[in-house]
Structure 1
Amino acid sequence: MVLADLGRKITTALRSLSNATIINEEVLLAMLKEICKALLEADVNIKLVKRLQENVKSAVNFEDMAAGINRRRLIQSTVFNELCRLVDPGVPAWTPTKGKNNIIMFVGLQGSGKTTTCTKLASYYQKKGWKTCLICADTFRAGAFDQLKQNATKARIPFYGSYTEMDPVIIAQEGVDKFKEDNFEIIIVDTSGRHKQEDSLFEEMLQVSQAVEPHNIVFVMDATIGQACEAQAQAFKDKVDVASVIVTKLDGHAKGGGALSAVAATKSPVTFIGTGEHIDDLEPFKTKPFVSKLLGMGDIEGLMDKVSELKLDDNQELLDKLKHGQFTLRDMYEQFQNIMKMGPINQIVGMIPGFSQDFMSSGNERESVARLKRLLTMMDSMNDKELDHPQGAKVFRQPGRIARVARGSGTSQREVQELISQYTKFAAMVKKMGGIKGLFKGGDMTKNVNPSQMAKLNSQVAKMIDPRVLQQMGGMGGLQNMMRQMQQGGGMGGAMGGFPGGR
């Protein structure tokens, strides 16, 4: 069972509490049975599932429970915490030091996605302002250097390797020395893999490790092998000092529950998870946000990180416009560009509370990206007057403008009219938000806006959302809960409200 199916089944089991008139031991056991069944189907080790079951039972003791305790909330919170314990070894992950040389060495079996993941991690740090580089010390696999070179060139990351030197230790040492001299902060060394665990592989790893003295050895592991991950991770950890794990291929049909829980059992913290082939398909792994996202509660922390990367705070002009309820077509164009920069759309949607992890399939992802690009193309065909007019929709009432934009962008007039209609809704929404005194002051809506104003705002947002999307979010109640969580920063107290009866 894939992770999305696991999350859906656990969420369904937790929601069954809301249908029960009385919460007693019988209801608890029935719910636990469904959760444990889902975990076993996701390839989670039976011992770990049994431990979760026993821990929930002991934490929810109806005989000793004080009067007035919200039983639904207690059970939901306890299950959430136990799911976190299932994938969290409780070991702090290694973090790089800014302004210093941080050497990261990658190890793993051939075919686990090691070389691709090296580039993804280098790109991740590069986007956060680190000076990153790549070294190919894989001389075992034909084409390894070509692959790394191609990936690094595409991502504009400096790299080092050799077509003539066959000793991986020499290549690794030369590369590290070169990049140290140039004051690179993140130096990633890709090493050889094998089809299976062999003495020659471990010996080579050890020699490279002794030569470059890495600050962090990352074990890259293929999630599709499920519970077998534990034996693999342990074998590598016994030979070299593995400080962190990156689990790849968690998209598709990987039994990710087995992989993640197996790694946690080896006391090696998972730091990132790979969710696809693209360079942005690498997510930092944080236990609570991951479980929240799995259960459709969203990942506000991750979403805020994505937004902060765009440095929108620097755009004072836009913030000033929003405060005065102004929003032009050019502003909408720039926001669409920002959405594209944030990474895969299905990844972003999964971070929003109320959306399940599988809300968007890869097909829908492609369709959404294509749709956004089409909208941007239409706006590329608009002139400055149309883009910057404070009431852009009025300009397009003049004959010929819509036809000209459609002709210039290779789209139909109906599509251009739909874009103008969508813009009109956005602009009306911004105008209403701008009319709420103090909304943008200090960035905390809960302190600045009274409940009646927020209710009106929620209602306006609901009118803008596709009815199918609103239904997926749980109707108006789900939307209000999403707004509340976003205002509160997505803490656990807000997250539990995602289940009916959770508050």
Structure 2
Amino acid sequence: MAFEGLSEKLQETFKNLRGKGVVTEKDIDAAMREVRLALLEADVNFKVVKQFVADVKEKALGADVMKSLTPGQQVVKIVKDQLVDMMGGTNSKLTYSPSGFTVYMLVGLQGTGKTTTCGKLASWLKQNGKKPMLCACDVYRPAAIDQLEVVGKAVNTPVFTMRDEKDPVKIAKAAMDDAERKGLNVLIVDTAGRLQIDEALMEELVNLKKAIKPHEILLVVDALTGQDAVNIATGFNDRLGVDGIIMTKMDGDSRGGAALSAKAVTGKPIKFMGVGEKYDALEPFHPDRIASRILGMGDMMSLIEQAESTYTQEEAERLERKFRKNQFDLNDFLEQMSQVNKLGGVGKILDMMPGLSAADRKNIDTGRGAKELENYKAVILSMTKEERADPKILNASRRKRIAAGSGQSVSTINKLIKSYDEMRAMMKKMNDPKALRRNKLFRGLM
């Protein structure tokens, strides 16, 4: 999970501070020491951390905060606001050419996931009403053209290639003509990368930029490389002038320092983040939502947006009633787990839920994939109506019978019941009056 380590440390730091009726300068100093260490351990740029802590401390020691009725909550709000500012303030949206035809040029080092990101971006653009084409301008890497064609087929997007041409400028110009002739309105140019920034790479990209005049140059960087990603972004921007960053592999980066530092160091916003291998796993980067996730305030807006693309209105209303009443059986559980997988898995949803601490998330099994879902389905379908409605009656003999009928082990049945009980406990915790009041206060501070 992105920012997992940082989130856990910051939530623990502010746990006691939130409930204090009086906050002293000593309390602020102690909290800021922990915040500084947490940010450095998350691989955030040292200069960025120094400025961040100084800004938070200055605002936290202000008279309005120290004399307020909820000083601890006010300090948390200041930290959240500063995190948002550090990451760019607001979501930097992808822009389109006013002429109606838009060219995006994707650049980056080799191995950052640039070609796959071309497909993800095409998929996102199609969902937003655009008609994209991919263009293969990597004429050096073996099988680069073949890879882009595979990507294009996977996202049902045409790919322009000129296998015998070695000049990227000629390829890109021909692709622009072909796309416009076919009535398409976006061209995504996949450029060549290197294992490191070198003069030949930059010269080629500069020439390509001059020739096709892209509406935006998007730099693809690997979040797992930490501050190296920020340094690479600085190098590309100094020479080429990029308009935005796409941070890949965010789902595998538990620290998140690159994402937190990129805007402050380079001055260029992160526009998208890759959060999985599937072609729909590209999300617009919202600094305010990310800050809320880090501090355990949840990200209900992103969850709602994703749910709207997965659920019908009727399904959403029925799910809401089940969650509110905390009344659902194993049939409902199976149905919801299927929908959960469509939304990206349990871990991703818990990441967006307010009121759940990092410790709460660790106590919930998040490793339920498609294969496990099929095993659970076999188990549930082997139960009687009474057993599905009330799993508490599943004694040892019943579980042995279900195991034999479903072809699954008793341990799988036990794991299913454990997962079901965890979900019930999670919903009960979320519907607890104290948690609801706390979440309401958080939303007021957000």
2:347 is aligned with what amino acid? Answer: N
Confirm whether residue 190 of structure 1 aligns to residue 141 of structure 2. no
Partner of 2:423: 465
**What secondary structure, in the 3-state scheme, does the structure 1 residue paired with 2:243 have?**
strand
Matches within 5 A, 1:36-47: 36-47=36-47
Counterpart secondary structure, 1:242: coil
| Contact preservation (8 Å) 2:23, 2:66 | no
Displacement of 1:11: 1.2
Cα distance in structure 1, aligned partners of 2:249 and 2:411 = 40
Q: Is the 8 A contact 1:44 1:258 kept in 2?
A: yes
Give a deviation string over 1:122-145, Cα, whole Å, max 9, x none.
223334454333222111211211
Higher RCO (C-alpha 8 Å, min separation 6)? 2
Q: Which runs of 5+ in 1 are unaligned?
A: 426-462, 496-503
CA distance, structure 2, for counterparts of residue 317 and residue 8 of structure 1: 32
Q: What's the CA shift for 1:217?
A: 1.1
2:13–2:34 contact (8 Å) kept in structure 1: yes
Could you tell me how far apart the structure 2 residues matched to 1:406 and 1:226 are? 46
Q: Secondary structure of 2:264's partner? A: helix
| Residues 359 and 130 of structure 1, relative CA distance in 2, 3 Å threshold | farther
Distance 1:321 1:255, change over 3 A: closer
Q: Does 1:285 align with 2:285?
A: yes
Partner of 2:102: 102
Match of 1:222 in 2: 222
- Determine if contact 2:272/2:282 at 8 Å carries over to the other structure: yes
Cα contact 2:87–2:287 (8 A) shared by 1: yes
Maintained 8 Å contact 1:264/1:270? no
Code of the residue aligned with 1:304 in structure 2: it is I
| Residues 355-414 of structure 1: per-residue CA shift (max 9 Å, x gap) | 4579778x95543443323344567899xxx9xx9x9959xx9xxxx9999888644799
In the aligned structure 2, how far is the partner of 1:321 from the partner of 1:21? 37
Give the aligned partner of residue 493 of structure 1. Answer: 444
The TM-score normalised by the length of structure 1 is 0.72
CA 1:146 to 1:409, structure 2 compared with 1: closer, same or farther past 3 Å? farther
Alpha-carbon separation, structure 1, partners of 2:295 and 2:319? 33
Instruction: Answer yes or no: is the 8 Å Cα contact 1:108–1:221 preserved in 2.
Output: yes
Which digits, 9 at most, give the CA deviation of each residue in 1:340-359, with x for residues without a partner?
A: 32234422221111345797
**Measured at CA, do residues 333 and 75 of structure 1 come closer, stay the same or move farther in structure 2, by a change above 3 Å?**
closer
Per the alignment, in what secondary structure is the counterpart of residue 189 of structure 1? Answer: strand
1:83-162 equivalent positions in 2, closer than 5 A: 83-88=83-88, 92-96=92-96, 100-162=100-162
Aligned residue number for residue 440 of structure 1: none
In the TM superposition, residue 66 of structure 1 has moved relative to its aligned partner by: 7.5
Aligned 8 A contact 2:331 2:388 in 1? no
Shift of 1:82: 1.1
1:140–1:23 distance in 2 versus 1, CA, 3 Å: same
* Distance (whole Å) between structure 2 residues aligned to residue 464 and residue 243 of structure 1: 44
Deviation at 1:107, TM superposition (A): 0.5
Matched residue pairs, number?
436
CA RMSD of aligned residues (A): 4.3
CA distance in 1, matches of 2:343, 2:99: 26
5 Å-filtered alignment, 1:258-337, equals 258-310=258-310, 312-313=312-313, 335-337=336-338
Give the Cα separation in 1 of the matches to 2:241 and 2:75: 38
Deviation at 1:294, TM superposition (A): 1.7
CA contact (8 A) 1:223 1:259 kept: yes
Report how far residue 146 of structure 1 moved: 1.9
Q: Measure, in 1, the Cα distance between the counterparts of 2:406 and 2:126.
A: 34
Q: CA deviation at 1:156?
A: 3.0
Q: Separation in 1 of the partners of 2:338 and 2:351?
A: 19
- In the aligned structure 2, how far is the partner of 1:160 from the partner of 1:329? 49
Tell me the residue number matched to 2:339.
338
List aligned pairs for 1:383-394, cutoff 5 A: none
Alignment of 1:352-431 (within 5 A): 352-355=353-356, 365-376=366-377, 410-411=407-408
Deviation at 1:309, TM superposition (A): 1.1
Q: Contact 1:280 / 1:344 at 8 angstroms: preserved in 2? A: no
% identical aligned pairs? 32
Contact 1:136 1:148 in 2 (8 A): yes
CA distance in 2, matches of 1:146, 1:393: 52
Q: In the alignment, does 2:198 pair up with 1:202?
A: no
Query: Given residue 155 of structure 1, which amino acid in structure 2 is its aligned partner?
Result: V
1:96 and 1:42, CA in 2 relative to 1: closer, same or farther beyond 3 A? Answer: same
Equivalents in 2 of 1:414, 1:151: separation in Å?
A: 39
Question: 1:12 offset after TM fit, Å?
Answer: 1.0
Residue 453 of structure 1 corresponds to none
Question: TM-score normalized by structure 2?
Answer: 0.80
Q: Deviations over 1:130-171 (max 9, x none)?
A: 433322211121121122222332333332223322222222
SS of equivalent residue, structure 1 residue 106:
strand
CA distance, structure 2, for counterparts of residue 281 and residue 379 of structure 1:
30
Tell me by how many angstroms 1:79 deviates: 1.1
Distance, in Å, in 2 between the alignment partners of 1:480 and 1:96 is 46
The one-character-per-residue Cα deviations of 1:110-132 (angstroms, maximum 9, x if unpaired) are 12221122222222333445433
Task: Answer with 263-272 or 31-40: which moved more.
Answer: 263-272
1:183 is aligned with what amino acid? G
Gaps of 5+ in 2: 394-398
Q: Give the secondary-structure state (helix, strand or coil) at the position aligned to 2:33.
A: helix
User: How has the CA–CA distance of structure 1 residues 203 and 312 changed in structure 2, closer, same or farther, with 3 Å as cutoff?
Assistant: same
CA deviation string 1:246-293 (max 9, x = no partner): 112334456421453133322211011223433344332100101111
